[in-house]
C-alpha cells in the first residue's frame, strides 16, 4: 500500500464514522460538530483526488457557512445544553426510506459512468486545466451559464426575502 | 545558492532513500516533517512576536514594557509561558468538556494553517496550491467556529455573549475581506499565491488598487478582533467574552492565535498587495526575499499595533453599520470597477495602470461626496425628541 492509499482509507473511515455519529448523537451541538468532521473528511477526499478547488469550496461553503449557521441556530435553541432527548421521532422510517432511496439512486447513477466498470483507475487530469474548464463552462452560453444565473437569482431572492422578513415593521420603526 | 530550500529538500530526500526507504514514503515523510517544522516555527515565533508587541505597546504609551527577564526582557514571554503551562486546566461546571477542549485547538489551527500557502521567498513556500486565496478564506472561517464553540461550551453567559458578538463581527467582516481578496486575483489572473507575487513584478497591487488595500487592512483588523474591533473580548463590557472561563494553556492558545494572527495579516497583505518577496536583487540571491518579505510584513504588523493603541473601541451598532453600509458596498464597487478597468489594456501596460488609477480615483471622489452628504444629514438630525432620546433609539 502506498502512503496515499493509507491516507485515503483513514479519511474514508473517518468520514463514515463521523457521518454515523451525526445521526446517533443525542446532543445537537455534538451532532453538528460531527457533521463538520464528516464534511472535512469529504474535503480530504477531494484533496486526494487533486481537486483542490472543490476541497477549498467544500470547507468555505459547508463548514464556514452552512455548519456555522446550523450551530448558531442550535445555540439559540433553548435548553440545548441539558437536552439529551431521543435522537429520533416517529417519522424516522420516512427519513430512513428517503436516505436509502437517495443512496440507491446515486449508486445507480454512478454505475452508469463508463469508468465505474473498468478495474483500472482513471488517470487524474491536469488540475489547473480542469479548474479553468470549470470556470469557463460556468460562463459559456452553450454550457452552464443559464443554471448558473438562475442559481444566482434564486440566492438573490433569498437574500432580499430574509431582509424583508428581518426588517422591523413600519409601526415599530421608530424614528430611524 | 540559487535554490537553497530545494537543495535542503533534495539532500534530505537522498538521505532517506539512502537509508533504504521507498521514494514515495520518503517524500511523504518529508512533507509531514516540513508541515510540522513550519507549524512549530510559527508557534515559536509567537514568543518573539508577543514580546515585541508588548515592547511596542509600552513605548507607544510612554512605558518601558517587559525589561526584567533576560536582555531587554526578551525572555518574558517564555516565563509567562512556563507559568501558563504549570497552571491547572479548569473545566467550569456544566461545561461541554470535549467541545471546550476542541475550541482553542481550532482557533490556533485556523491561524497556523494560513502559513501553509504564504510564499516567504522564491521557491520557498510550503504548498503552492492553485487556489491559495480560497484556501486562506476557508481556513480562516474555522477560527470563527472555534470562537463560537468556546463561547458556547463554557456554560457562561458572558462567554456566550462574546460568541454572539464574534459571529456577528467575524462573519460580517469576512464579506468585504473576501471581496477585496478577489482584486489581486483579478489583477494577476490566478488564485495561487506564487502567481500573485509574480504578477506584481511590474507594479505592486497596492498602487493599482489602493482602495482595495485599505479595505483589506480594515476588515483584517476586524477579523483579528483587536481594538478598535475588540468587541468580542471587551473586558469592560462582557468580562473578556468567549475566553472568560479558560485557564492555563488553553487560554494561552487563544492568546497565541491572536498575536500570531496580527503578524499573519501583515504576511497576507504583503503577499497580496505589497509584492511579497519581490525587491531589488532577489532573483540573484533568493534569501534576500526573506528579508523583503518579513520587512514588509513587519511594517504592516507594526501599524496594526499602532492602530490598536490609538483608537478606542467602536460601538456595536456602529461596527455592523460600518461594515454593511460602508465597507461591503464599497468593496462591491471596487470589484466592479477593477473588473472593467482590467479589460481596458493588457496586463503590465501603462494603459491598464492608468485605467485602474482612474477607477480608484473615481471611487474615492464618490465615497467622499457620499460621506459628506451623510455627515450633513447626521448633523441636521435633532438630538432630542418628545418620544425618546437618540440613545434609546439606537440601543433598541
Q: How far is B138 from chain A (nearest CA, A)?
A: 4
B268-281 mean pLDDT: 83
pLDDT of residue B15: 77
Q: Residue A96: inside a domain, yes or no?
A: no
Collect all residues with Cβ–Cβ distance below 8 Å to B137 and sequence separation of at least 6: A56, A60, A64, B174, B177, B178, B181
pLDDT of residue A7: 85
pLDDT of residue B289: 80
pLDDT of residue B320: 84
pLDDT of residue A121: 67
From B96, B144, B393, residue closest to A174, measured CB to CB: B393
Q: Residue A159: inside a domain, yes or no?
A: yes
Residue contact A56–B387, C-beta within 8 A:
no
In terms of domains, do A70 and A143 share one?
Answer: no
Residue bearing the bigger pLDDT, B22 or B369 = B369
Residue contact B145–A67, C-beta within 8 A:
yes
Residues of B in contact with A36 (CB under 8 A): 145
Residues of A in contact with B157 (CB under 8 A): none
Q: Residue A175: inside a domain, yes or no?
A: no
Q: Residue A30: inside a domain, yes or no?
A: yes
From B131, B149, B163, residue closest to A52, measured CB to CB: B131
Residue contact A81–B134, C-beta within 8 A:
no
Q: How far is B248 from chain A (nearest CA, A)?
A: 24
Residue contact B138–A29, C-beta within 8 A:
no
From A3, A65, A176, residue closest to B25, measured CB to CB: A3
From A36, A57, A65, residue closest to B134, measured CB to CB: A57
Band of pLDDT at residue B34, cut at 50, 70 and 90: confident
B239-250 mean pLDDT: 78
Residues of B in contact with A134 (CB under 8 A): none
From the list B318, B304, B118, B324, the residue with the least C-alpha distance to B220 is: B304
Question: Within 13 Å and on the Cβ side, how many CA atoms surround B143?
Answer: 28
pLDDT of residue B395: 47
Distance separating alpha carbons of residues B76 and B49, to the nearest angstrom: 12
Q: Is a pLDDT exceeding 60 seen at residue B139?
A: yes
Least confident of B37-41, B151-155, B233-237, B275-279: B233-237
How high does pLDDT run on average in chain B? 81
Residue bearing the bigger pLDDT, B9 or B200 = B200
Residues of A in contact with B393 (CB under 8 A): 174-176
From the list B108, B91, B107, B110, the residue with the least C-alpha distance to B148 is: B107
pLDDT of residue A1: 67
> Grid coordinates standing for B342?
482590467
Distance separating alpha carbons of residues B259 and B251, to the nearest angstrom: 13
- The residue segments making up the domain with residue A34 are 1-79
In terms of domains, do A7 and A73 share one?
Answer: yes
Residues of B in contact with A68 (CB under 8 A): 141, 144-145, 148, 167, 171
pLDDT of residue A82: 58
Band of pLDDT at residue B387, cut at 50, 70 and 90: low
pLDDT of residue A175: 46
From the list A62, A83, A55, A73, the residue with the least C-alpha distance to B167 is: A73
In terms of domains, do A64 and A131 share one?
Answer: no
Q: What is the pLDDT of residues B345-354, one digit of tens each?
A: 666 667 777 7
**Domain stop point among A45, A79, A113:** A79
Residues of B in contact with A75 (CB under 8 A): 148, 152, 160, 163
Residues of B in contact with A33 (CB under 8 A): 99, 102, 149
From A36, A53, A176, residue closest to B393, measured CB to CB: A176
Q: Which residues of chain A have pLDDT under 70?
A: 1, 78-87, 115-125, 127, 170-176
Is residue B241 a contact partner of residue B174, using CB atoms and an 8 Å limit?
no
- CATH number for the domain harbouring residue A44: 1.20.120.1200
pLDDT of residue A145: 86
Residue contact A3–B24, C-beta within 8 A:
yes
pLDDT of residue A97: 93
Residues of A in contact with B139 (CB under 8 A): 59
Is residue B161 a contact partner of residue B238, using CB atoms and an 8 Å limit?
yes
Residues of A in contact with B25 (CB under 8 A): 2-3
Instruction: Please classify residue A124 by burial: count the beta carbons closer than 10 Å to its beta carbon, then call 0-12 exposed, 13-18 middle and 19+ buried.
Output: exposed
Neighbours of A96 (CB within 10 A): 12
Q: How many domains does chain A have?
A: 2
Residue A76 DSSP one-character state: T
Q: What percent of chain B has pLDDT above 70?
A: 91
Instruction: Please list the helix, strand and coil fractions of chain B in percent, rounded to the nearest 5, in that order.
Output: 75, 0, 25
From the list A65, A71, A20, the residue with the least C-alpha distance to A41 is: A20
Name the phi and psi angles at B358, rounded to 5: -60, -45
Residues of A in contact with B160 (CB under 8 A): 75
Residue contact A33–B102, C-beta within 8 A:
yes
Residues of A in contact with B148 (CB under 8 A): 68, 71-72, 75
Q: Residue A122: inside a domain, yes or no?
A: no
Q: Which residue of A has its CA nearest to B135?
A: A56
Question: Within 13 Å and on the Cβ side, how many CA atoms surround B65?
Answer: 21
Q: Residue A22: inside a domain, yes or no?
A: yes
Q: Is a pLDDT exceeding 60 seen at residue B385?
A: no
Q: Which residue of A has its CA nearest to B383?
A: A175
Q: Residue A7: inside a domain, yes or no?
A: yes
Band of pLDDT at residue B384, cut at 50, 70 and 90: low
pLDDT of residue A79: 63
B308-312 mean pLDDT: 85
Least confident of B49-53, B131-135, B240-244: B240-244
Of the residues A75, A127, A128, A163, the best mutation for testing chain B's interface (the one with the most B CB atoms within 10 Å of its CB) is A75
Q: How far is A56 from chain B (nearest CA, A)?
A: 5
In terms of domains, do A73 and A137 share one?
Answer: no
Q: Is a pLDDT exceeding 80 seen at residue B236?
A: no
**Quick check: bond before B228 cis, omega within 30?**
yes
Q: How far is B225 from chain A (nearest CA, A)?
A: 18
Distance separating alpha carbons of residues A46 and A44, to the nearest angstrom: 5
B28-33 mean pLDDT: 79
Residue contact A71–B148, C-beta within 8 A:
yes
Helices (H), A25-126: 28-48, 52-57, 68-75, 92-112, 114-117
pLDDT of residue A87: 64
Residue contact A68–B171, C-beta within 8 A:
yes
From B24, B130, B144, residue closest to A68, measured CB to CB: B144
Amino acid at each position: 500500500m502506498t502512503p496515499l492509499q493509507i491516507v485515503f482509507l483513514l479519511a474514508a473511515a473517518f468520514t463514515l464514522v463521523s457521518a454515523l455519529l451525526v445521526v446517533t448523537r443525542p446532543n445537537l451541538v455534538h451532532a453538528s460538530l460531527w457533521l463538520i468532521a464528516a464534511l472535512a473528511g469529504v474535503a480530504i477526499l477531494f484533496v486526494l483526488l487533486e481537486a483542490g478547488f472543490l476541497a477549498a469550496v467544500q470547507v468555505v461553503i459547508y463548514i464556514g457557512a452552512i455548519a456555522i449557521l446550523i450551530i448558531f441556530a442550535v445555540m439559540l435553541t433553548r435548553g440545548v445544553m441539558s437536552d439529551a432527548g431521543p435522537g429520533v421521532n416517529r417519522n424516522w422510517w420516512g427519513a430512513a426510506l428517503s436516505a436509502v432511496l437517495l443512496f440507491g439512486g446515486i449508486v445507480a447513477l454512478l454505475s452508469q459512468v463508463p469508468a465505474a466498470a473498468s478495474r483500472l483507475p482513471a488517470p487524474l487530469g491536469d488540475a489547473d486545466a480542469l479548474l479553468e474548464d470549470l470556470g469557463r463552462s460556468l460562463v459559456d452560453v452553450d454550457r452552464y451559464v443559464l443554471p448558473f444565473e438562475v442559481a444566482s437569482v434564486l440566492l438573490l431572492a433569498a437574500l432580499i426575502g430574509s431582509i424583508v422578513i428581518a426588517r422591523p415593521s413600519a409601526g415599530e420603526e421608530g424614528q430611524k | 545558492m540559487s535554490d537553497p530550500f530545494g537543495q535542503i529538500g533534495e539532500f534530505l530526500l537522498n538521505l532517506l532513500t539512502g537509508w533504504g526507504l521507498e521514494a514515495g514514503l520518503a517524500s511523504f515523510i518529508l512533507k509531514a516533517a516540513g508541515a510540522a517544522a513550519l507549524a512549530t516555527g510559527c508557534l515559536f515565533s509567537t514568543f518573539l512576536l508577543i514580546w515585541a508587541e508588548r515592547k511596542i505597546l509600552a513605548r507607544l504609551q510612554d512605558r518601558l514594557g517587559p525589561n526584567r527577564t533576560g536582555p531587554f526582557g526578551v525572555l518574558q514571554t517564555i516565563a509567562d509561558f512556563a507559568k501558563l503551562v504549570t497552571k491547572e486546566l479548569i473545566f467550569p461546571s456544566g461545561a461541554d468538556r470535549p467541545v471546550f477542549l476542541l475550541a482553542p485547538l481550532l482557533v490556533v489551527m485556523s491561524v497556523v494553517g494560513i502559513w501553509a500557502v504564504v510564499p516567504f521567498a522564491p521557491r520557498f513556500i510550503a504548498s503552492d496550491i492553485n487556489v491559495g486565496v480560497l484556501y486562506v478564506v476557508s481556513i480562516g472561517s474555522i477560527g470563527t467556529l472555534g470562537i463560537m464553540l468556546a463561547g458556547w461550551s463554557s456554560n457562561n453567559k458572558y462567554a456566550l455573549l462574546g460568541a454572539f458578538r464574534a459571529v456577528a463581527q467575524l462573519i460580517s467582516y469576512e464579506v468585504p475581506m473576501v471581496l477585496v481578496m478577489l482584486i489581486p486575483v483579478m489583477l494577476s489572473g490566478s488564485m495561487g499565491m506564487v502567481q500573485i507575487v509574480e504578477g506584481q513584478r511590474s507594479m505592486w497591487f497596492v498602487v493599482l488598487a489602493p482602495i482595495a488595500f485599505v479595505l483589506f487592512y480594515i476588515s483584517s483588523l476586524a477579523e483579528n478582533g483587536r481594538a478598535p474591533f475588540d468587541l468580542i473580548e471587551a473586558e469592560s463590557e462582557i468580562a473578556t467574552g468567549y475566553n472568560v472561563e479558560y485557564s492555563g494553556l488553553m487560554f494561552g492558545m487563544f492568546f497565541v492565535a491572536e498575536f500570531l494572527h496580527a503578524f499573519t495579516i501583515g504576511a497576507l497583505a504583503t503577499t497580496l498587495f505589497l509584492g511579497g518577496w519581490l525587491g531589488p536583487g532577489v532573483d540573484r540571491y533568493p534569501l534576500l526575499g526573506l528579508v523583503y518579505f518579513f520587512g514588509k510584513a513587519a511594517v504592516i504588523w507594526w501599524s496594526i499595533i499602532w492602530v490598536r493603541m490609538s483608537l478606542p473601541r467602536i460601538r456595536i451598532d456602529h461596527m455592523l453599520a460600518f461594515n454593511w453600509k460602508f465597507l461591503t458596498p464599497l468593496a462591491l464597487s471596487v470589484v466592479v470597477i477593477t473588473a472593467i478597468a482590467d479589460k481596458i489594456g493588457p496586463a503590465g501596460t501603462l494603459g491598464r495602470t492608468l485605467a485602474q488609477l482612474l477607477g480608484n480615483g473615481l471611487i474615492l471622489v464618490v465615497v467622499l461626496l457620499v460621506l459628506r452628504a451623510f455627515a450633513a444629514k447626521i448633523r441636521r438630525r435633532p438630538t432630542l425628541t418628545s418620544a425618546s432620546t437618540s440613545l434609546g433609539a439606537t440601543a433598541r
